[in-house]
Amino acid sequence: MNNQGALSRGLSVLASLAGAPQGLPLMQIAEIVDLPKSGAHRTLQNLVSDGYVRQDALSGNYELTLALPLLGLQFLSANSLTSLALPLLESLADATGQLVRLSLSDGDRLVWVAKRQGARTGLRFDPDHAAEVPLASTATGQAWLSRLTDDEAVRLIVRGDVPLRHQVGPNMPTGVSETLEALARARAQGWASVHDSYESGISAVAKAVVDPASNRPLGAVSVAGPTVQLTPERVQEVIPLLADIVEQLEKVPRAMMPSLPTQAEPPALVDSTRGRA
């Protein structure tokens, strides 16, 4: 017998009904949530009383009312993508112990809009550079470009990159052909990584956030840190964690993506860093 508490049982029943717009019969709900028929019936009656579920008079099926979707819409309307993403960035930063950043598209630019520092003490990467992302030299830029066609990517690369504000690393792509090779690798892998490219001694891995409806890149999430810490072996461990965060962000409705202002200076980067040493 399922030993879930009352709240967990209720949520399980709601989850089973969320994918069934025509409703489900009692027996099928009981099977899905692993409850005896009597327990499932009690849970459904409570949900009916609370206004979250109704029983169709003709079929007898139980189905969701609009109460739960309206709660979700109320939550989404009060939050931007950036605020919704911060807890996810925080969990990824804590899990990796490195700098995690979210970037979003702004026309032909890619802009870092939020970051979370996972390193508490010791050696760490925490730049104060401008928020606009260099496209060719960063894992973030390469991940984003890899979701475009080569023609689109080349246009953005040759257009002129972000002015350099620091010494680049020795592994930065030296031309369009090398950048296209990096993009081909990123497409094949589903993620991009750089070592000593954007900055000497710094490595990063990034994955694009893609709009499921259009298959166009909306931005990217990256994990960056000292190369001695973020080794190729460590990158392989980080990738599943990164992919999970990106998958969750891609479930956010497209309407939640902020419309970044077109301006000479990029918008301020939201810094959710805690516990600086």
Do domains 6-75 and 79-271 share one topology? The answer is no
Between CA 105 and CA 149 the distance in angstroms is: 16
Domain locations in the chain as residue ranges = 6-75, 79-271
Backbone angles phi, psi at 212, to 5 degrees: -60, -30
In the block, which residue shows the tokens 């139980």?
62
Residue 30: per-residue pLDDT: 94
DSSP annotation string for 139-181? HHHHHHHTTS-HHHHHHHHHT--PPP-SPPPTTS--SHHHHHH
Torsion of CA 215, 219, 221, 225, to 10 degrees: 130
Closest CA to 143 of 253, 223, 262, 86: 223
Q: Which CATH superfamily is domain 79-271 in?
A: GAF domain (3.30.450.40)
The 3-class SS string of 211-277 reads CCCCCCEEEEEEEEEECCCCCHHHHHHHHHHHHHHHHHHHCCCHHHCCCCCCCCCCCCCEECCCCCC
Q: Write the CB contacts of 170 (distance below 8 Å, at least 6 apart in sequence).
A: 196, 200
For the chain, residues with pLDDT lower than 50 are 1-3, 259-267, 273-277
CA nearest neighbour of 134 among 87, 182, 93: 182
Task: Decide which of 1.10.274.10, 3.40.50.300, 1.10.10.10, 2.60.40.1220 is the CATH code for 6-75.
Answer: 1.10.10.10
The whole model's pTM is what? 0.66
In terms of residues, how long is the chain?
A: 277
> Could you tell me the two tokens for 261?
């202002």
Looking at residue 5, what is its pLDDT? 81
Distance CA 153, CA 116 (A): 28
Rounded distance between C-alpha atoms, residue 19 and residue 23, angstroms? 9
pLDDT recorded at residue 261? 41
**What pLDDT is stored for residue 265 in this prediction?**
45
